[in-house]
């Protein structure tokens, strides 16, 4: 059947080197595996280029893997942090 298997790929933006490749059904589990594997393989601070074909699952996976936590303090409340999209992370 068409569309049953996908090549999920993450490449470096500057050299087009394939950092991670996951082959399988287009599921959130496969998406998470690709994004977290790419993060593990890249040097700290480097961000991959991942082309999503508009699959909504990538946004959550990228935020979980590459999102940055920033502390917030509201008067009279316990400190907590906000997860923000890192500057320079391409999503398309």
Q: What average pLDDT values come out for the chain (92 residues) when binned by 10 residues?
A: 76 85 92 93 85 85 89 78 78 60
Confidence (pLDDT) at 27: 92
pLDDT of residue 41: 93
The reported pLDDT for the residue numbered 3 is 57
- What is the model's pLDDT at position 75? 76
Handedness of CA 56, 66, 19, 12 (dihedral sign): positive
- For residue 6, give the H/E element and its range: strand 6-12
Are the CB atoms for 52 and 79 separated by under 8 Å?
A: no
Task: Give the integer Cα–Cα distance in Å for 58 and 31.
Answer: 6
Identify the bridge partners of residue 23 per DSSP, sorted by sequence position.
Answer: 7
């Amino acid at each position: 059947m068409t569309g049953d298997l996908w090549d999920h790929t993450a490449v470096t933006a500057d050299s087009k080197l394939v950092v991670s490749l996951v082959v399988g059904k287009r599921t959130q589990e496969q998406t998470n595996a690709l994004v977290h594997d790419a993060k593990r393989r890249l040097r700290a601070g480097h961000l991959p280029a991942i082309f999503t074909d508009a699959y909504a699952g990538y946004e959550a996976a990228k935020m979980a893997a590459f999102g940055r936590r920033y502390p917030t303090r509201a008067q009279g409340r316990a400190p907590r942090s906000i997860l923000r999209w890192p500057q320079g992370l391409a999503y398309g």
